[in-house]
Amino acid sequence: MEQQQKWRKLNGQKIHIPIEDEVKNVIAREKRAGNELKVCIGTDSQVKGKVTEFATVIVFIRKGKGGFIYICNEVTHTKMSIKERMLMEVAKSIEISYALCEIFTLYKVDMEVHADINTNPKFKSNDALKEAMGYITGMGFAFKAKPNAFASSSCANKIVQ
């Protein structure tokens, strides 16, 4: 991961170690507590004037026992079409998924990449669906799109509003 990414918990607590180390520590802690985990990674964005804000989330689900979330916000001044923005969201999710996938494999934690892209062709974001699905599955990750992509369309969405 790039050094400039700043991760935090939902309560605002900053993560001062590399996210890879934080994820290893949290998985080990949760496994010791007897929790079965699943991870969903997604990104959403919001255009605010000349700025586009991205929020990438790592959602840990404790099967049957709730969950918790890590967040990374990034801002760009680059103007993008909706399709470019959707694919940038996917690229950000893939970047962190790729950085963490060996850890998830080592600890036998299932992971999905969620794309905030509508499966209904009536929506503009649908233009990016085929490319996003190909990108994510081509990297070997499980793929979810709306309405099943809660990590991006619900969790990350709340962060960028």
Per-residue three-class SS string for 44-82: EEEEECCEEEEEEEEEEEECCCCEEEEEEEEEECCCCCH
Structural domain contains residue 1: no
Q: How many domains does the chain have?
A: 1
Q: Which domain holds residue 103?
A: 7-160
Q: How far apart are CA 15 and CA 57, in angstroms?
A: 13
When pLDDT is cut at 50, 70 and 90, the band that residue 3 belongs to is very low
Structural domain contains residue 2: no
pTM: 0.90
10 Å CB burial of residue 39 (0-12, 13-18, 19+) is: buried
- 21-70 pLDDT tens trace: 999 999 999 999 999 999 999 999 999 999 999 999 999 999 999 999 99
Q: Does a cis peptide bond (omega within 30 degrees of 0) precede residue 121?
A: no
